[in-house]
Amino acid sequence: MAYKISDLKTDYQSDWCPGCGDFGILNAIMSALVDLQLDLNKVVLVSGIGCSGKTPHYINTAGIHTLHGRDIPFASGIKLANPELTVIVTGGDGNTYGIGAGHFLNAGRRNIDITCLVFNNGVYGLTKGQASPTLKLGMKTKSLPLPNINEAINPLVVAISCGYTFVARSYAYDVKHLKEIIKQAILHKGLSLVDILQPCPSYNDIHTKEYFEQVVNNSKRIYKLEETGYDGEIKDPNNPEEIQQKLLQAITKSQEWGEKIPIGVFYKINLPTLTDRLKERYKNDINPSKDNIEQNGKPTTDISKLIEEIEVKRYIRG
Amino acid sequence: MKRINNFTWLIGGPQGSGVDSSANTFAKTCASIGLYIFGKREYHSNIKGAHSYYPITVSEKPIRSHTDSIDILATFEKETLTLHKENVVENGIIIFDKDYDVDLNHNKYTLVPLPFNDIIKEAAVKFQREKDYSKLQIMRNVITVAASLAILNLDAEYLIKTLESVFTGRRSKLLEINIFAANLTYEYIKSNSFNQKSIYELKPIENHESLVLTSGTTATAIGKIAGGCKFQTYYPITPASDESEYLEAHPEYGVVVVQTEDEIAAICMAIGASLAGVRASTSTSGPGFSLMAEAQGWAGINEVPVVIFNYQRGGPSTGLPTRHEQGDLEFALHAGHSEFPRIVLSPGDIEESFYLAIESFNLAEKYQLPVVFLSDKAIANSIQTVKSFNLSNIQIERGKMLSDKDLSILLEKEGKYKRFKITEDGISPRIILGQGTFWNTGDEHDEFGHICEESNNRTIMFDKRMRKMNTIIKELDISLKYRMYGPENADYTLIGWGSVKGPILDTLEELNKYYKINFLQIILLKPFPSEEILPIIKNSKMLIGIEMNYSGQLCNLIRKETGIKVNKRILKWNGRSFSREEIFKGVIDAINLDQENIVCKSGI
């Protein structure tokens, strides 16, 4: 029987602030799962540290709440150990683009088939509002004693340039849009980033719901790429010209910020995932979790060939 | 008097010039005639040019350590001569390039100047490879080995057999020219009667023991494969990478090897794989192990099996990256903030590395915790003839893992699965990702794995986890805790862990000619087997700790855990492992001198 949102809720009481963007994201994740009706035993949510890190506790699937910034490595290990699992990472902007930046980058090189949802609110909420890597230079949110002294990074550009094969942005309060993007990200074979703009009502008084939804020049500040005819998907991954054109288009588009903020799929390409590459290397489907390593307590791996390689061979005559 | 089948041969040269392969060829040939081998690789943190050397000790009886003194010094460059000639014994042999202008004492040593260039030229002409003359300089290695074996009066055919086993695959086209050069060298040695001047000799002996000649990293890697490890992560680091590269080079065993972006990712990925039910490990050395501290705590609080192989090297910081030390003990016992259950154990040699690697995965899964396998550079990079690995007694124990059927029965009975169910022995039934719903968190948690800051839960949950340490001490077989060697009721007890085992065992018999001495090797360092070793150490007249670190970290641990003071310490921290002579003299000094610490300094 199909499961509903109510089946996905846990008894664990949420402690996010009233009005937090996380609620929208939580709803969107659950709605996406309901739409996709994935086997819940095969879905794993992996999170880092921060408000976003608590997400798995609110959803009735296996949930691994890891260390600050290390959610992507944990998730990668899980996926490699059992590629049948659908692995979804929920991290924050400080978690993923700050302390976990090295992992965020290098996961791209692997194009591992996991989905990274980044709750991007520009601040470190749980530690009371310090500037995160996505807060722009000179901005002074109400929690900062002085304006931000660092420039911001653009996570979409970083993701595109280091090998993510699905790069999108959505908005926490547009649950419908976010749900659809999350579904696409989950279904995409390869590494996906969904950067989710998310107001922090407690500490970020600049990027508020009102700010994002404000009407500027007769239309909302946030607008949907798909409604403008933008198409970020590469139809032929063997066509270098198309790749080059879509890459530049995505990078240019992702620079747009201010009066207009685009959301939607910026870039998408189908390329072999790490599991595909391993299959080539091992000449076999690789799912270590299915390997039976013992039988009645005895090891099943035959190492006699390896021992033979190092065995002392004697050549005594007669 | 002839010294037959019992000597130390040393080859040295610039890094990248083939010192390792020469040593391996020499060792393999000696092993092929029934002898036992111990070889120690010494090298700089450098790709090409810096001095490296490799002593090989051979014997008719099993050996496990190197000697400071050199019987045969073989080299094709000057630096090795300058650095090592002082260690060559009287009547020892020095093989060197005849074109070098060096001042060597003719009266003290048997000098063997070799015409390397002439031999290489002749071979080049014969194989019409004159234009490759500079490339062919690599044959200095085979010439050096051939000269050594010729001087030792060993038939060339043994060397040729070894060369045939070495030059295979891509390199097989080099076999003929190398054999040619080897034969030329043999002729040169014989025609100049150098073999008659040598007091050393190699003679094939009957040896029916089934042996392997291997290094610590290889033995550990094979142990991992045998133990069902299917997931290995690493970030390149000396001296640990060799182990991961071995696994990577054998994809047919299905171990997924991931070279990660750093050691933090390495341990986190391994933990992730373990959560999905796979035996997972990561291998590193000190600097990487430092980076793994936080994640060890995560595995501890979430009770995830994971094995961390730390091949210790000289520290702190980058320290002596290619040299030996046992300086990480105290850190390994406590790495990470606060307290959590974990096992720290240490193999004493290459053979134990194989079996303990397998056992580490059993322990990790049985007790659901991180296991630190504390090896060291001296084990990692040495080669030794050891008893061939025997799998007949090996068990794979996965502990309290629930099958799908177990889980459905449990769910029917209890409604919900509790990953951290409070149990008497502290171990909760485990399911893996893909089987069902459970939560993990680095926060303190309730039985389900949800974050819980409630004070009473904290008291109970912390205690539940830590209780496993008592369960381990109660259940573990004594052979995984410590080993005793030598007479039972000795006056003096040597205590050590890790690679000091080799040189201690190699001197124990000799020492017992003078004093009644035994040796206590500690394998299990956490939880510490205090009750078990107490009867041994409290009856000894003098306890002598032997460690490759500055402060005697095991000695301190024994004091802390048992209240008993280790009377003397033989310590060394210059990056070069203990030699047999040093242990011998160190123990004699410890017994006789009124001084608590004996500091050893040998090695180049």
What is the least distance, in Å, from the CA of A21 to any CA of chain B? 21
Q: Which helix (H) or strand (E) holds A118?
A: strand A115-120
For range B345-367, the mean pLDDT: 98
Chain B residues within an 8 Å CB radius of A72: 265
Q: Strand ranges (DSSP E) for B243-340?
A: 256-259, 280-284, 306-312
Contact A80 B256 (CB under 8 A): yes
Burial class (CB in 10 A: 0-12, 13-18, 19+), B69: middle
Among the partner residues A63, A299, A310, nearest to B213 by beta-carbon distance? A310
Segments forming the whole domain that contains residue A209: 5-278
Could you tell me which chain A residue has the CA closest to the CA of B162?
A313
For range B434-458, the mean pLDDT: 98
CB count in 10 Å sphere of residue B501: 25
How many angstroms separate the CA atoms of A108 and A192, rounded? 9
Q: What's the sign of the alpha-carbon dihedral B567, B570, B573, B575?
A: negative
Contact B272 A73 (CB under 8 A): yes
Q: Are strands B88-97 and B110-114 parallel, antiparallel or unpaired?
A: parallel
Asked if residue B284 is part of any domain, the answer here is yes
* B452 interface with A at CB cutoff 8 Å: no
Query: Sheet of B306-312: strands edge to edge?
Result: B256-259, B231-234, B280-284, B306-312, B370-376, B343-345, B524-526
How many angstroms separate the CA atoms of B424 and B362, rounded? 20
For range B396-419, the mean pLDDT: 97
Asked if residue A289 is part of any domain, the answer here is no
pLDDT over threshold 60, residue B437: yes
pLDDT over threshold 80, residue A30: yes
Cβ neighbours for B245, distance < 8 A, ≥ 6 positions apart: none
How many angstroms separate the CA atoms of B110 and A262, rounded? 83
pLDDT over threshold 60, residue A317: no
SS3 A146: coil
pLDDT over threshold 60, residue B165: yes
For tokens 């490595």, what's the residue? Answer: A73
Rg (CA), chain A: 22
How many angstroms separate the CA atoms of A26 and A14, rounded? 11
Could you tell me which chain B residue has the CA closest to the CA of A85?
B434
Our count of domains for chain B comes to 4
- On the CB side of B490, CA atoms within 13 Å amount to 26
* B262 interface with A at CB cutoff 8 Å: yes
Segments forming the whole domain that contains residue B557: 480-599
CB count in 10 Å sphere of residue B105: 11
Residue in A15, B295, B35, B94 with CA at minimum distance from that of residue B102: B94
For residues A27 and A177, is the Cβ–Cβ distance under 8 A? no
Paired tokens of B452? 């819980």
Percent of chain A with pLDDT over 70: 99
Contact B225 A46 (CB under 8 A): no
Residues B451, B492 share a domain: no
Contact B276 A281 (CB under 8 A): no
Asked if residue B397 is part of any domain, the answer here is no
Cβ neighbours for B125, distance < 8 A, ≥ 6 positions apart: none
How many angstroms separate the CA atoms of B385 and B375, rounded? 18
Asked if residue B244 is part of any domain, the answer here is yes
How many angstroms separate the CA atoms of B304 and B108, rounded? 62
Given B444, B475, B506, which residue is the final one in a domain? B475
Interface mutation vs chain B, best among A306, A311, A316, most B CBs within 10 Å? A306
* B253 interface with A at CB cutoff 8 Å: yes
Chain A residues within an 8 Å CB radius of B438: 62-63
Contact A74 B268 (CB under 8 A): yes
What is the least distance, in Å, from the CA of A216 to any CA of chain B? 43
Contact A70 B258 (CB under 8 A): no
Interface of B with A in 175-234 (CB under 8 A): 204-207, 210-214, 218, 222, 225-228, 230-231, 233
Asked if residue A96 is part of any domain, the answer here is yes
Paired tokens of B465? 């986890």
Contact A313 B32 (CB under 8 A): yes
In the 3-class helix/strand/coil scheme, how is B495-528 assigned residue by residue? Answer: EECHHHHHHHHHHHHHHCCCCCEEEEEECEEECC
* Residue A289 CA, distance from chain mean position: 23
pLDDT of residue B100: 85
Contact A282 B34 (CB under 8 A): no
Asked if residue A317 is part of any domain, the answer here is no
With bands split at pLDDT 50, 70 and 90, how would you rate the model's confidence at A1? confident
Could you tell me which chain B residue has the CA closest to the CA of A317?
B204
Asked if residue A216 is part of any domain, the answer here is yes
Residue in B463, B446, B462 with CA at minimum distance from that of residue B454: B446
Residues B218, B195 share a domain: no
Among the partner residues B34, B254, B433, nearest to A78 by beta-carbon distance? B433
ipTM surpasses cut 0.90: yes
Q: Using one digit for the tens of pLDDT, what is the confidence trace for B190-228?
A: 999 999 999 999 999 999 999 999 999 999 999 999 999
How many angstroms separate the CA atoms of A158 and A155, rounded? 5
Contact A294 B437 (CB under 8 A): no
How many angstroms separate the CA atoms of B72 and B98, rounded? 16
CATH number where A177 lies: 3.40.50.970
Contact A301 B228 (CB under 8 A): yes
* B300 interface with A at CB cutoff 8 Å: no
Asked if residue A270 is part of any domain, the answer here is yes
Residues B178, B52 share a domain: yes
CATH number where B489 lies: 3.40.50.920
CB count in 10 Å sphere of residue B453: 9
Residues B487, B466 share a domain: no
Chain B residues within an 8 Å CB radius of A38: none
Could you tell me which chain A residue has the CA closest to the CA of B399?
A297
* B248 interface with A at CB cutoff 8 Å: no
Chain B residues within an 8 Å CB radius of A281: 251
For range B376-400, the mean pLDDT: 97
Contact B258 A80 (CB under 8 A): yes
Interface of B with A in 331-390 (CB under 8 A): 358, 385, 388-389
Asked if residue A16 is part of any domain, the answer here is yes
Q: Using one digit for the tens of pLDDT, what is the confidence trace for A256-314?
A: 999 999 999 999 999 999 999 999 999 889 999 999 999 999 999 999 999 999 999 99
* B435 interface with A at CB cutoff 8 Å: yes
For range A11-21, the mean pLDDT: 94
Among the partner residues A70, A291, A314, nearest to B34 by beta-carbon distance? A314
Chain A residues within an 8 Å CB radius of B435: 41
pLDDT of residue B593: 98
pLDDT of residue A318: 42
Q: Using one digit for the tens of pLDDT, what is the confidence trace for B219-233?
A: 999 999 999 999 999
Asked if residue A17 is part of any domain, the answer here is yes
How many angstroms separate the CA atoms of B126 and B147, rounded? 20
Cβ neighbours for B41, distance < 8 A, ≥ 6 positions apart: B20, B23, B52, B54, B381, B382, B383
Residues B113, B44 share a domain: yes
Residues B357, B222 share a domain: yes
pLDDT of residue B77: 87
Residues B420, B357 share a domain: no
What is the least distance, in Å, from the CA of B280 to any CA of chain A? 9
What is the least distance, in Å, from the CA of B345 to any CA of chain A? 22
What is the least distance, in Å, from the CA of B253 to any CA of chain A? 8
Could you give the C-alpha distances from A165 to A179, A184, B416, B427, in angstroms and in order? 19, 12, 38, 42
DSSP A210: H
Tally C-beta pairs within 8 A across A and B.
225
Our count of domains for chain A comes to 1
Residues B357, B490 share a domain: no
For range B31-58, the mean pLDDT: 96
CB count in 10 Å sphere of residue B106: 7
Asked if residue B264 is part of any domain, the answer here is yes
Contact A301 B225 (CB under 8 A): yes
Asked if residue A302 is part of any domain, the answer here is no
pLDDT over threshold 60, residue B484: yes
Return the amino acid letter for A5: I
Q: Using one digit for the tens of pLDDT, what is the confidence trace for A94-150?
A: 999 999 999 999 999 999 999 999 999 999 999 999 999 999 999 999 999 999 999
Could you give the C-alpha distances from B493 to A185, B128, B489, B505, B586, in angstroms and in order? 64, 63, 9, 13, 13
Percent of chain A with pLDDT over 90: 96
Contact B272 A46 (CB under 8 A): yes
How many angstroms separate the CA atoms of A29 and B366, rounded? 36
Report the mean per-residue pLDDT for chain B.
97
CA angle B112, B115, B118 (to 5 degrees): 165
Among the partner residues A44, A299, A312, nearest to B227 by beta-carbon distance? A299
Q: Using one digit for the tens of pLDDT, what is the confidence trace for A175-204?
A: 999 999 999 999 999 999 999 999 999 999
pLDDT over threshold 90, residue B104: no
Residues B119, B103 share a domain: yes
Among the partner residues A62, A278, A310, nearest to B212 by beta-carbon distance? A310
How many angstroms separate the CA atoms of A21 and B420, rounded? 31
For range A43-68, the mean pLDDT: 98
Among the partner residues A41, A70, A311, nearest to B264 by beta-carbon distance? A70
> Would you say how long chain A is, in residues?
318
pLDDT of residue A316: 64
User: pTM of the entire structure?
Assistant: 0.98
Residues B444, B331 share a domain: no
How many angstroms separate the CA atoms of B193 and B242, rounded? 42
Given B160, B183, B205, which residue is the final one in a domain? B205
Asked if residue B393 is part of any domain, the answer here is no
Asked if residue B73 is part of any domain, the answer here is yes
CB count in 10 Å sphere of residue A4: 10
Contact A311 B437 (CB under 8 A): no
Residues B225, B164 share a domain: no
DSSP string, B454-479: -HHHHHHHHHHHHHHHHHHHHHS-GG
CB count in 10 Å sphere of residue A295: 9
Residues B316, B368 share a domain: yes
Q: Are strands A123-124 and A130-131 parallel, antiparallel or unpaired?
A: antiparallel
